């Protein structure tokens, strides 16, 4: 569904990503693990086109998207949920969803506000609330719902558990599993290993812009040395 090869990226003169390679098959949940500043967000931004890569190939359903603009990539069925959430604070919940709306797609689940409110019952109760007047957890739900309105076949989730209360993190894990049930491909970046175990099938570990490890979650479970080296703080 989604594959990245030889991705190099930089902010100005600071080279951040080195030959990143990743892959996610249809219906798979893949987690990108790494410490603060490892390059997780930068990887996701490069995939969605917010950061123009120096080199590398990004394929979405065998189609190269590395030269496209973010809106074109989004319209090909790739959703992006940023780490900072970036809710439109001046717009109501409904209007935020409306901005995310795109045409129906054959190969992806079809979302309407009604269906999304089933997935996120909280949002259904505050349809006219301004985005700026919502709690962090509510905003996190809204930013995912907003991206789903584009009917993506795959989504990039940047640290969805960050800064959320344990109950909400639990809820978030359930949500991601529900999305997997719908047949969505998910590439999620995380620092929280427990959360990763709760949602993911496979993991990549990124450190200083290099992919250091790739394997199934159960492999990672049994590989204490890797966890020790790249993930413990």
Partner 1 sequence: MTASAILIQFLNGLASASSLFFVAAGLSLIFGVTRIVNFAHGSLYMLGTYMGCSLVEYFGRTPLGFWGGVLIAGLAAALIGAMIEATLLRRLYQAPELLQLLATFALVLVIKDFALWAWGPEDVLGPRAPGLDGAVTIAGRAFPEYDLLLIALGPVVLGLLWLLLTRTRWGSLVRAATEDREMAGALGVNQGWLFTGVFALGSLLAGFGGAVNIPREPATLMMDLSIISDVFVVVVVGGMGSIPGAFLAALLISEIKAFCIGIGEVHAYGIDISFSKLTLVVEFIVMAIVLVIRPWGLLGRAASVARGPGTLEDPLRSPSRHLLALGVAVLGVLVLMPVLGDAYTLVLLGDILVFALFSVSLHFIIGPAGMHSFGHAAYFGLGAYGAALALKHLVPMEAALFAGPFVAALGAVVFGWFCVRLSGVYLAMLTLAFAQITWSVVFQWDSFTGGSNGVVDVWPAAWLGSKTAYYYLTLVLATAGILLLWRMLYAPFGYALRAVRDSPLRADAIGIDARRFQWAGFSLAGLFAGLAGALYAFSKGSISPEVVAIPRSVDGLVMVLLGGIQTLTGPVAGAAVFTWLQDTIARNTDFWRATLGVIILILVLAFPQGATGMLRRRFAREQS
Ligand X SMILES: Nc1ncnc2c1ncn2[C@@H]1O[C@H](COP(=O)(O)OP(=O)(O)OP(=O)(O)O)[C@@H](O)[C@H]1O
x/- map, 2-21, partner 1, by CB under 8 A: ---------xx---------
Q: Does 100 participate in binding partner 1 (rule CB under 8 A)?
A: yes
Q: Does 14 participate in binding ligand X (rule CB under 6 A)?
A: yes
Q: Segment near partner 1 (CB under 8 A), from 32-40, 84-92, 160-168, 175-183?
A: 84-92
The Cα angle at residue 19 between residues 14 and 22, in degrees rounded to 5: 125
Q: Does 86 participate in binding partner 1 (rule CB under 8 A)?
A: yes
Give the full edge-to-edge strand order of the sheet including 185-190: 78-81, 154-158, 185-190, 29-33, 202-207, 210-216
Question: End-to-end distance of the chain based on CA atoms, in angstroms?
Answer: 33
Q: Segment near ligand X (CB under 6 A), from 8-16, 72-80, 94-102, 216-224?
A: 8-16
Q: Does 85 participate in binding ligand X (rule CB under 6 A)?
A: no
Q: Segment near ligand X (CB under 6 A), from 38-46, 139-147, 210-218, 224-232?
A: 38-46
Radius of gyration of the chain (CA): 17
Of the candidates 30, 26, 63, the residue with the CA atom closest to the CA atom of residue 206? 30
For the beta carbon of residue 90, count every other beta carbon within 10 angstroms.
10
Both tokens of 126, joined, read: 């505050």
Identify residues 53-72 at the interface with partner 1 (CB under 8 A).
Answer: 69-71
Q: Does 150 participate in binding partner 1 (rule CB under 8 A)?
A: yes
**130 contacts 176 by C-beta, under 8 angstroms:** no
Binding ligand X (rule: CB under 6 A), the pick from 112, 171, 191, 214 is 191
Q: Does 40 participate in binding ligand X (rule CB under 6 A)?
A: yes
């Amino acid at each position: 569904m989604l594959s990245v090869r030889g991705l190099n990226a930089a902010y100005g003169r600071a080279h951040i990503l080195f030959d990143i390679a990743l892959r996610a098959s249809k219906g798979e949940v893949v987690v990108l693990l790494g410490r603060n500043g490892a390059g997780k967000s930068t990887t996701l931004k490069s995939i969605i086109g917010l950061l123009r890569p120096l080199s590398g190939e990004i394929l979405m359903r065998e189609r190269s998207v590395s030269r496209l603009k973010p809106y074109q990539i989004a319209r090909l069925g790739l959703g992006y949920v940023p780490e900072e959430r970036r809710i439109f604070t001046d717009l109501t919940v409904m209007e935020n969803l409306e901005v995310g709306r795109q045409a129906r797609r054959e190969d992806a689940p079809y979302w309407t506000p009604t269906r999304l409110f089933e997935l996120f019952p909280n949002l259904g109760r505050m349809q006219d609330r301004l985005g700026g007047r919502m709690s962090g957890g509510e905003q996190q739900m809204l930013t995912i719902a907003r991206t789903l309105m584009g009917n993506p076949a795959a989504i990039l989730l940047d640290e969805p558990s960050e800064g959320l209360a344990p109950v909400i993190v639990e809820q978030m894990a359930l949500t991601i599993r529900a999305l997997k049930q719908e047949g969505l491909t998910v590439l999620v970046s995380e620092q929280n290993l427990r959360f990763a175990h709760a949602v993911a099938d496979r993991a990549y570990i990124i450190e200083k812009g290099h992919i250091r490890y790739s394997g199934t979650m159960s492999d990672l479970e049994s590989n204490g040395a890797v966890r020790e080296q790249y993930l413990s703080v």
